[in-house]
Amino acid sequence: MSAAVINNDEKTEVIYGSENIIDLAIEGYRKVQDKLDICTDYTGPMLFLSVKPIWEAYTQLKSRAKLRFITEITQENILYCKEIMRYAECRHLDGTKGNFGVDGKQYWAHATTSPQGKPIEQMVFSTVNALVEQQQYFFDMLWNIAIPAKQRIKEIEQGAKREFIETVREPKEIYRLAHDLIKSATEEIVVLFPSANAFRNRQEHMDLVQLLNGVLSNHQLRIRILLDSEDPLNKLLADDLKGKEGEAVRIQRYSNKTGQTKITTFVVDNAYSLTIEVKDGSASSFDEAIGLATYSNSESTVSSYLSIFETLWIQSELYEHKKQNNVIGSIC
């Protein structure tokens, strides 16, 4: 039984009854030509494999279509997901809700299955081009933010951490993130300031200094800061922290005359990095000075920024040592 809205060759139907739904799905799979994209909640993989006619029709698609599958991979459904991965490219998305499929010409959708795993009794099917395009766009958007299934399975089976790289655009969110990251430090904070202009506003500047001073109550924490030796505002920042220099706080100055370094970089506990683009060095406020920020716990990303910092740190130490030797030589 179905209720239909028909516009020329396009139609939208509501299909009732599990047998009718199975027949419709199989018939739809037969019409798939190039691709089939499916998104389901965590119950979907088990249901998908348990309905033998649908699963058999799906596996036969591999020889002629590109198959993509999004679901929430959990400890409970991991074996079913591994089976699906034999035929489709599979990705994980936390908290996935709803169940739908789209192939560029057809769209299927049904409600979340019940906890008891009862058969699906109602499904929407449509060939209306506008709706199909809309749902294809929605699937592609979810696909782009989902993570590879292998990565999620590694998290479950090996307890691996979830790696991420996030782009942050909102200045207030960037400022809050910098504060939260500094406050979370337990071992070491390294900071590279190509210019203090990103923190040019006096209140923002003082907030940063107070925050760095505040975390020093943790006696296990070390802070290393690299400042542009030519930037007068960086001198102000160094003066504010001057009384703290020692084993806990070390400040070095480096030459950034060419302006090659335009990114303020924070690395915390060798585990997290936050880079902030200095977009307009002449701006009078934090909001106007900065561009995009990148926040990550990716091991390769964090180690790359830390390597840049260490290289500049060593260069600044060598330069300072050479300068001191020249002073001693001139006195002698």
Tens-place pLDDT, residues 306-327: 999 999 899 888 866 666 655 5
Whether the CB-CB separation of 84 and 59 falls below 8 Å is answered with no
% the chain with pLDDT above 90: 45
Q: Give me the CATH code for the 165-331 domain, please.
A: 3.30.870.10
Tens-place pLDDT, residues 159-175: 888 888 899 999 889 88
What pLDDT shows up at residue 4? 44
Average pLDDT, the chain: 82
The CATH architecture that domain 2-158 belongs to is 2-Layer Sandwich (3.30)
Q: What is the mean pLDDT of residues 44-70?
A: 93
Distance CA 125, CA 12 (A): 6
Break the chain into its structural domains and give their ranges: 2-158, 165-331
Which two structure tokens, joined as six digits, stand for 229? Answer: 């030796």
Q: What is the mean pLDDT of residues 174-197?
A: 85
- Would you say residue 85 has pLDDT above 60? yes
Q: What is the mean pLDDT of residues 217-246?
A: 69
Buried-exposed string 149-175: b where 16+ CB fall within 10 A, e elsewhere: beebbebeeeeeeeeeeeeeeebeebb
88 alpha carbon, distance to own chain's centre: 23
Tens-place pLDDT, residues 39-54: 999 999 998 898 899 9
- Would you say residue 1 has pLDDT above 80? no
